[in-house]
Amino acid sequence: MNLHRVPSWSSVLVCAALLPAAPASAGVEPVLVASGLSAPLRVTAPAGDFRRLFVVEQGGRIRIVKDGLLLGGSFLDLSGRISSGSERGLLGLAFHPLYRRNGRFFVNYTDPQGNTVVSEFAVSSNPDFATPGSERVLLRQTQPFSNHNGGHLAFSPIDGTLYLGLGDGGSGGDPQNLAQNDGTWLGKILRIDVDDRDPGKEYAVPSDNPFAGRTNPRPEIWAKGLRNPWRFSFDRSIGDLWIGDVGQGAWEEIDWQGASSKGGENYGWRRMEGFHCYDPASGCLTPSLTLPMLEYAHSATPPRCSVTGGVVSRGASVPEIAGRYLFADYCSGEIFSVRRLGNEVIDGRNHRAEWVPAGGGRSTA
Ligand SMILES: [Ca+2]
Ligand SMILES: [Ca+2]
């Protein structure tokens, strides 16, 4: 059975390879923003803060690049409260949409036992330092294995709810079939309201969550069937959600939902990996599953292994890629982009040859 509802990424890549390198992003020049960081894995800033970038280091520190200079200290140092290494660490950071008024921000990390913690912290009277003692734990998730911890946090630009991603718990092949199990948060994207509290909770379940008022599926669940949604993002202009879901052994995928989605999507894992049956090995596709927007194969030169979901570019300073969705592969170091047309993506480009930062290089790890 041909499961390909849209062109597979392998065919998109063929098109990309035929494009001349220069016109793909003429005028787009990578620049070195900061150096001297340790395993930086997230860069963000509060809304309206145009002087600072906040850089998350896997080992637990949040650093600030201010007016182009990396500050010496840490905005927050959680290295004594977390486990780090491989897929563990300080993994996520999101500023409250009204941060400039309330100074609240949220982190996602693995604790010393390797379990997931999502916490709120507050800034101090000095805007370049948070208050370490201000931690309020919103939720915890026991992790059965060390890998696939997700860890991303992002606020919806439409309604200000907080979305957080959790992988399938780990190991390989989702041995307990947790991503399809509605009774656990593992293998899901959750949606919560951090400005209110339900009885017994440090947050509220939004009343328009797809399973609000239920206990199974658990009411925080927004989408299921995810293996490790390591990075996802909202298109800040129109609110679409793009999810990079890391694959098992053969296929990496990007999932997408429009801003009008009411939630409840099942993105297929472990029944499917990309557009392909995984477990069961055949007859996996059911009407309840949402297929990826695109996939790409590990089999390539250089080899690919793990997708890092990116963002839809809306920066006025780079009109050449305006509206394009950017993403990357961890092993090959390639950066790709596509354009969305309805429910499909077109015009795939591979920017690997053009976007090697001056003074830096692409990872080969
Ligand atoms: Ca895990
Ligand atoms: Ca999938």
331 alpha carbon – ligand 1 mean position (Å): 20
The verdict on residue 147 lying in a domain is yes
**Cα separation of the two ends of the chain:** 36
d(CA 8, CA 348): 11
Predicted local confidence at residue 5, as pLDDT: 39
Quote the tokens at residue 309.
């979901």
**Sheet strand arrangement including 188-192:** 153-155, 162-166, 188-192, 221-223
Point out the ligand nearest to the CA of residue 265.
2
Q: Where are the beta strands (DSSP E) in 258-324?
A: 272-273, 276-277, 294-297, 307-312
The residues placing their C-beta within 5 Å of ligand 1, an ion, are 143, 145, 148-149, 170
Predicted local confidence at residue 358, as pLDDT: 54
Predicted local confidence at residue 330, as pLDDT: 95
| Enclosing domain of residue 175 | 38-297+313-320
Task: Give the number of domains in the chain.
Answer: 1
Point out the ligand nearest to the CA of residue 275.
2
Point out the ligand nearest to the CA of residue 186.
1
233 alpha carbon – ligand 1 mean position (Å): 21
26 pLDDT tier (thresholds 50, 70, 90): low
As a whole number, mean pLDDT of residues 133-137 equals: 98
pLDDT at 361 over 60: no
| CATH number of 98's domain | 2.120.10.30
Lowest mean pLDDT among 54-58, 278-282, 329-333: 329-333
CA 204, 190, 47, 110 torsion-angle sign: positive
Look at the chain and count its residues.
365
The verdict on residue 14 lying in a domain is no
- Taking the CB of residue 235, how many other CB atoms lie within 10 A of it? 20
| % residues pLDDT > 90 (the chain) | 86
What mean pLDDT, rounded, does the chain reach? 91
pLDDT at 183 over 50: yes
Predicted local confidence at residue 21, as pLDDT: 37
| % residues pLDDT > 70 (the chain) | 90
pLDDT at 263 over 90: yes
130 alpha carbon – ligand 2 mean position (Å): 38
Predicted local confidence at residue 354, as pLDDT: 83
pLDDT at 357 over 70: no
pLDDT at 359 over 60: no
Point out the ligand nearest to the CA of residue 255.
2
The verdict on residue 80 lying in a domain is yes
Dump pLDDT digits (tens) for 92-109: 999 999 999 999 999 999
Q: pTM above 0.85? A: yes
120 pLDDT tier (thresholds 50, 70, 90): very high
- Taking the CB of residue 337, how many other CB atoms lie within 10 A of it? 24
The verdict on residue 20 lying in a domain is no
The verdict on residue 306 lying in a domain is no
In this structure, the dihedral spanned by the alpha carbons of residues 64, 99, 193 and 315, taken in order and rounded to 10 degrees, is -70
Dump pLDDT digits (tens) for 66-102: 999 999 999 999 999 999 999 999 999 999 999 999 9
Predicted local confidence at residue 57, as pLDDT: 98
15 vs 52: which has the higher pLDDT: 52
pLDDT at 117 over 90: yes
pLDDT at 282 over 90: yes
Calculate the alpha carbon distances from 187 to 8, 147, 352 in Å.
Answer: 24, 12, 31
167 alpha carbon – ligand 1 mean position (Å): 7
pLDDT at 2 over 50: no
pLDDT at 212 over 60: yes
The verdict on residue 31 lying in a domain is no
142 near 119, Cβ under 8 Å? no
Amino acid type, 229: P
204 alpha carbon – ligand 2 mean position (Å): 28
38 pLDDT tier (thresholds 50, 70, 90): very high
Phi-psi region of 264 (alpha: psi -120 to 50; beta: other; left: phi over 0): left
The verdict on residue 148 lying in a domain is yes
20 alpha carbon – ligand 1 mean position (Å): 42
The verdict on residue 364 lying in a domain is no
Predicted local confidence at residue 17, as pLDDT: 35
